[in-house]
Structures are given as structure tokens and as C-alpha cells.
Structure 1
Amino acid sequence: MREEFVKMSSMEEQVLAEQEALLAECKLYKGEKEPETKEVKTEDEAAVVDGLPVASTVLGAPVSRSDWSTGLLCCFGNGGEHFTSDLQVCVLGTFAPCVLYGSNMERLYPGEEGAFLYHCMMYTCLSLGGSLLVDVNLAPFMSVGSRMDLRRKYNLPSAGGCCFGGTCDQESGVGCATVCDVLTHFLCHNCALCQEGRELRRRTLSPSYQPYMPMAPPVVQSMTPQM
């Protein structure tokens, strides 16, 4: 009987020890006790655990201001790798500005169906109609809006200083930039179209570009004779 009593007391002590260990674990998870060797979380790990974005960019934050690839009067671009494209833009802007404007709109509004034909015809009607009726080219009234859209899309500054001596920076406000765009298109219309064409060709792919997707030939199949 004495031996059995000793065994029971030892079992009770073991159960009590296990219960105390469980209680200590519960206190640890509740935050009542911190472990002695705690791993320090890095900033990225802490951000992931806390549900904060790891990246520094914030959705809706203003995009940094970028500059035009070429100047307003750079008829042949910068003489670099885009020289052939810049020469084509210069020729179209000089002899067929309606075609250049339609091409620019096709790149600026890629999802718009028939953008090239529509804008090319509208430009031609305003240009010829204004020249015949009031002896004024009315096309800049339409094309100046595309320059504003282009600047807003890529956050470009107004580049009209070459025509009327002065540029409108970001701090001057939207009104000053709009005036710069209007004066640029009315005073240097063909140069403005060429500058926009060069910019769009450097930033976008051709609408007729189709990515090449190589296809693997089918596997040769053969029939095995049945035994």
C-alpha cells in the first residue's frame, strides 16, 4: 500500500508539473511573458505581419515629372537610334500633317477603334475648310487637346518656350500650362505635331505590332502493334 501511495503521489506531481507548463505556455501566448531570446523582425517582415504594403510606392501618389525626349525645334530628333523614325515624322509633319496627326492619335488612344481614319479626316476638314472659308487653319483648335492629353498621360511639362520666350513649370498652375499648349499649337503647329509624334514613337509600340508567339510542332504519333 505504501508503494502504491508513493506511485500515486509521483503521478500527481507529474500531472501538476504538466499543468504548470501548459499554464506558462498560455501566459506566453497571451503576451504576459516575453521569451528571453526573441528574434527581431526586419522592416519588411513587420510590414507583412501588420498588413502594411512593403513597397514604398502608394496607389494614387503623383507620378514624378518627366521631360520631353526631344525639343520643340529638333526636326531630326537627337540623331540617335530613332533617326529614321524622326525623319519620317519630320516629312509627314511638313507635307502631310493630317496623316501625322492621325498616327499620333492612334498611338495616344490605342483602344479607340478607327482612331487614325477619324482624326485624319477631321483634321483635313478643319484645315481645308478653315483655309477656304476664313483663310485660317482651324486644325489647331482640335489638335491642342491631344497635346494636353499627352502631357497628362506622361506628366510632361509644357514646352512652348521656343516660340514665345518662356516656359510654364509645374508650380505655375494648370492655366499657364494650357496657355502654353495653345500658343505652341497656334504659333508652331507643325513643330508641335512633330514633337508629339517623336514622343509617342519613343514611348509606345506601333499599333500594327503583333508579338511573335513561336509554336512547337506536334509530336509524331505512331501506333504500336497489338500482341
Structure 2
Amino acid sequence: MYPETTPVVAPVAGLFPGAGASREWSSGLFDCFDDSDNCCMTFWCPCITFGRTAEIVDHGTTSCGTSATLFALIETLSASWCTWAYSCTYRGRMRKEHSLPEAPCADFVVHLCCLPCALCQEYRELKARGYEPILGWEFNAQRAAAGVAMSAPAAQGMGR
């Protein structure tokens, strides 16, 4: 009657390109337009970008919807003054997991001074490491378990 749930699986180093490798950020903080779709999404609805990133960083223990809703709630109740305090913790966790440097400055400063740029950079970093944040953790975990490098499904148009 109820669908089976997929167990939460942590990524294994080597299954995703760059997973576990120590290196610099794959793109700069202000390279937002390198991914114009994500840049627009982050500009109009940063809670969605944050939610997608948080689901991957949390390894699926928190859904995109839950993280995005909490982000939007904090943003609304604090008149956008406190979201950086919540979001910078995910940057720190992501840096630690992927051995990234705290650059160009401390996580809280990056999120306090340029939250949209930070969210875009984190999203791009996950993509550069082989994740597809838009598809959620479960898809990425299944892909890692299968050991297959798959890309996001292509958009299909109308045709005969």
C-alpha cells in the first residue's frame, strides 16, 4: 500500500567526479552567470536553491521542501536579516566534506555580505562534483550506488 523508502546512503569517494578530493572551489564566488538558470532561480527564489543544496549536504535527511520552507520562514520573519546565520552552516559542512578552503573569507562573512552569490557558488560546486541538486538526494544516492555517471534527463519538446 505504501511505497518502499530508499535508505539514506552517503556518497562514496570516487563514485562522483571529485568526490572526496581536496581542491579549490570549482568556480569563483562572483561567477553567478556561469549557470544562468540557477542564477535566475536564486535571484527570484533563493529558498529553492538553498533547499536543493541543503538536501544534498544533509545526505537526504532533510528534504528540499523542508529546508526551503525553513529558509523562507526565517527570511520572512527576520526581514532577511538572519538567513545568513542559517545558510552559512551548510557552507561550512559542505566545505568540510569536500575539503574546500574557507575562501574568499569566513563562511559567515560570505553569506552575510553576498548570500545569493554564496548560494549560487555552492550549487555550482555540487554540480561540478557530479551531483544533480535539482533531482534531489535519492536520485543521486541511487546513481552513486549503481556507479553510473548519468546526466539529468533532457527536456523533451512536442514532436511527431
Class of the TM-score when normalised by the shorter of the 2 chains:
0.5 to 0.7
Aligned pair 1:186/2:109, yes or no?
no
Aligned pair 1:118/2:66, yes or no?
yes
Q: What is the match of residue 29 of structure 2?
A: 72
Higher relative contact order (CA 8 A, sep 6+): 2
The separation in 2 between residues aligned to 1:155 and 1:205, in whole angstroms, is 16
Residue in structure 2 matching 1:146, options 87, 90, 94: 90
Q: TM-score, normalised by structure 1?
A: 0.48
1:197-223 Cα shifts (integer Å, max 9, x gaps): 1001221433346659xxxxxxxxxxx
1:74-97 Cα shifts (integer Å, max 9, x gaps): 1122xxxxxxxx122111111110
Please report how far the alpha carbon of residue 64 of structure 1 lies from its aligned counterpart in structure 2 after TM superposition: 6.5
Greater gyration radius: 1
Please report how far the alpha carbon of residue 109 of structure 1 lies from its aligned counterpart in structure 2 after TM superposition: 2.0
The separation in 1 between residues aligned to 2:120 and 2:50, in whole angstroms, is 9
Is this contact kept in 2: 1:128–1:137, CA < 8 A?
A: no
Q: Which runs of 4+ in 1 moved over 6 A?
A: none
Please report how far the alpha carbon of residue 137 of structure 1 lies from its aligned counterpart in structure 2 after TM superposition: 2.3
Alignment of 1:93-112 (within 5 A): 93-112=42-61
Percent of aligned pairs with the same residue? 28
Q: 3-state SS of the aligned residue for 2:78?
A: helix
Q: TM-score, normalised by structure 2?
A: 0.67
Q: What stretches of structure 2 of length at least 5 have no aligned partner?
A: 1-19, 147-160
Please report how far the alpha carbon of residue 107 of structure 1 lies from its aligned counterpart in structure 2 after TM superposition: 1.7
Q: 3-state SS of the aligned residue for 1:121?
A: helix
Work out the number of aligned pairs and report it.
119
Amino acid at match of 1:188: C
Is this contact kept in 2: 1:67–1:157, CA < 8 A?
A: yes
1:74-125 Cα shifts (integer Å, max 9, x gaps): 1122xxxxxxxx122111111110000001012222231x521111111001
The separation in 2 between residues aligned to 1:195 and 1:117, in whole angstroms, is 20
The separation in 1 between residues aligned to 2:21 and 2:32, in whole angstroms, is 27
Is this contact kept in 2: 1:66–1:156, CA < 8 A?
A: yes
